[in-house]
A = this chain, B = another copy of it.
């Protein structure tokens, strides 16, 4: 575990430039920062934790001088996608979690300017304290994830501002030669518009830094949502016949187009809900590696979980929210049960009362008590309030109990893996994709986890996942087999994933050779030594296992 790819002299220079406390080179430290949930992992030669832009620039310049690659991550909480591991062994891993400045919040124009170490929790706390009229959309993952990191990976939240990359506007980017690029057009200093107008003057550049290795984003504008006058929250449980589900998909698309659904719900299947409200029922496996339909049905029944469930925030004036409520009740009511429970998260007398009464109703409805625990955090996600409640679910199979705090599934070696093919938002496409997914889950004997994420009115991201034994090589191989078959089969059907894991970087752009070559030419031009994250998203590597 020695830092094989990092010369001793570079280590010294790094310590001199950014301070010994911001450099990690001991075995234990390197082990910790390279732990993953996915069945793939590489050890870096050294880990650096720069605290400001100048330090990022200093590291990049040193990397160039010693010709050693730099793998930047924000906080590396992209659990199930690759965490902090590079796609090659050795080199410098740069963790930006100590760059935690909130530079500016503009209340009138509703945006913040933040560094990559700013987490959902930090931003939310800051807003609640100083600008309570503004909400920041958050991902359903841990509250300690990076706002910028998630956005650059095209992560998603749940409010009308769910498209995190779309909410970025005006970035500061350290390039491979150490220079600082400020996007958003106009003069570098004094430009009043870089964080309020997206497209700038000339080509729009922010886009090329998403899922990219063309530079290191060290600061960005992030659009915030003015708190609506009124808010409510619906929970929908599907009780219709199986054959009705396609119709629900088409109706839901129309609701999104019409603006009756402004939130971006995740429609969870039964298994995805079970992860939240239960522990894995190993006893029901009956010698198999995944639950039979019967075992699944009885487990579902025990906890009162529907086949499909989703929550949905309602936003607007009181009149608009009333209208949305009516509209949702009318349309969704055809397919199942819709309840409006926004009040339960309110800090009012009515809210406290609702929280008192809810557990009894919940039990009467035959539901597991864990539903109640999820209620307030679930509602809050739609108000931009982050939580670790749902990140805990990933412990449900690998650990006997979900931890109450200090969640870190990479550290704790929970094995899981995500893939999210993009699927056009029509019943035809969604049903075809669900069928394909089910076949592949069955073939690899994994329980089917799926969330249909409403990306917008035109597409869904079909989030699929498996849980496996992180430290059992056979099970890891099985998970990888499932992943690769899912990936290639969905691509072959025309549904490429919205994101790729670190283990699948090599060749991930081969599905579009002209685009791959176009990007490779750009990379060579702006990073002549191929210093920053070589190989990321299928760009050329530098040698080593994952290269070329």
Is A4 located at the chain interface by the 8 A CB criterion? no
* Interface 9-mer from A121-129, A348-356, A396-404, A509-517: A509-517
Beta-carbon contact of A214 and B207 below 8 Å: no
In the assembly, what is the distance between CA of A109 and CA of B190, in Å? 41
- Chain B nearest Cβ from A152, distance in angstroms: 10
Is A205 located at the chain interface by the 8 A CB criterion? yes
Is A458 located at the chain interface by the 8 A CB criterion? yes
Beta-carbon contact of A512 and B182 below 8 Å: yes
Is A358 located at the chain interface by the 8 A CB criterion? no
Beta-carbon contact of B514 and A518 below 8 Å: no
Is A316 located at the chain interface by the 8 A CB criterion? yes
State whether A181 and B429 are in contact (beta carbons under 8 Å apart), knowing that A208-B208, A212-B203, A511-B187 are contacts in the complex: no
Task: Tell me which of B192, B210, B426 contacts A199 (CB under 8 A).
Answer: B210
- Chain B nearest Cβ from A436, distance in angstroms: 12
Q: Which residues of B contact A228 (CB under 8 A)?
A: 258
In the assembly, what is the distance between CA of A512 and CA of B180, in Å? 11
Beta-carbon contact of A494 and B192 below 8 Å: yes
Beta-carbon contact of A422 and B208 below 8 Å: no
Is A245 located at the chain interface by the 8 A CB criterion? no
Beta-carbon contact of B212 and A509 below 8 Å: no
Beta-carbon contact of B193 and A423 below 8 Å: yes
- Chain B nearest Cβ from A190, distance in angstroms: 4
Is A370 located at the chain interface by the 8 A CB criterion? no
Is A246 located at the chain interface by the 8 A CB criterion? no
* Interface 9-mer from A235-243, A380-388, A470-478, A522-530: A522-530
In the assembly, what is the distance between CA of A165 and CA of B197, in Å? 13
Q: Which residues of B contact A514 (CB under 8 A)?
A: 175, 179-182, 188
- Chain B nearest Cβ from A191, distance in angstroms: 5
State whether A425 and B109 are in contact (beta carbons under 8 Å apart), knowing that A204-B207, A509-B202 are contacts in the complex: yes
In the assembly, what is the distance between CA of A197 and CA of B522, in Å? 23
Is A416 located at the chain interface by the 8 A CB criterion? no
Beta-carbon contact of B191 and A496 below 8 Å: yes
* Interface 9-mer from A263-271, A304-312, A497-505: A497-505
In the complex, residue of chain B having the shortest beta-carbon distance to the beta carbon of A510: B187
The count of chain A contact residues (Cβ–Cβ below 8 Å) is: 91
Q: For chain A, what secondary structure do more than half of its interface residues adopt (helix, strand, loop), or is it mixed? A: loop
State whether A212 and B205 are in contact (beta carbons under 8 Å apart), knowing that A458-B196, A526-B518 are contacts in the complex: no
Q: Which residues of B contact A203 (CB under 8 A)?
A: 207-212, 214, 519, 537
State whether A223 and B458 are in contact (beta carbons under 8 Å apart), knowing that A201-B496, A206-B207 are contacts in the complex: yes
Task: Tell me which of B207, B424, B426 contacts A207 (CB under 8 A).
Answer: B207
Q: Which residues of B contact A521 (CB under 8 A)?
A: 525-526
Task: Tell me which of B193, B259, B496 contacts A316 (CB under 8 A).
Answer: B259
Q: Which residues of B contact A197 (CB under 8 A)?
A: 422, 455-456, 458-459, 498
State whether A204 and B210 are in contact (beta carbons under 8 Å apart), knowing that A187-B496, A494-B187 are contacts in the complex: yes
Is A377 located at the chain interface by the 8 A CB criterion? no
In the complex, residue of chain B having the shortest beta-carbon distance to the beta carbon of A323: B319
Within 8 A of B (CB), among A419-461: 422-426, 429, 455-459
Is A538 located at the chain interface by the 8 A CB criterion? yes
Is A17 located at the chain interface by the 8 A CB criterion? no
Give per-residue flags for A80-109: 1 if the beta carbon is below 8 A from chain B beta carbons, else 0.
000000000000000000000000000011
Q: Which residues of B contact A108 (CB under 8 A)?
A: 250, 253, 426
Q: Which residues of B contact A319 (CB under 8 A)?
A: 323
**24 pairs across A/B with beta carbons < 8 Å?**
A110-B257, A166-B198, A175-B514, A186-B512, A187-B494, A187-B511, A187-B512, A188-B512, A192-B424, A193-B424, A193-B459, A196-B422, A197-B458, A199-B498, A201-B496, A202-B519, A202-B538, A206-B207, A207-B208, A323-B323, A518-B526, A521-B525, A522-B525, A522-B526
**Which A residues form the contact surface with B (CB < 8 A)?**
108-111, 154, 165-166, 175, 179-183, 185-188, 190-193, 196-212, 214, 223, 226, 228-229, 250, 253, 257-259, 316-317, 319-320, 323, 327, 422-426, 429, 455-459, 491-500, 508-509, 511-515, 518-519, 521-522, 524-526, 537-538
Q: A202-B515, A203-B537 are in contact. List 17 more A-B contacts (CB 8 A).
A: A108-B426, A109-B458, A181-B514, A186-B491, A186-B494, A186-B496, A186-B512, A193-B424, A197-B458, A201-B500, A202-B211, A203-B209, A203-B214, A205-B515, A207-B208, A323-B323, A521-B525
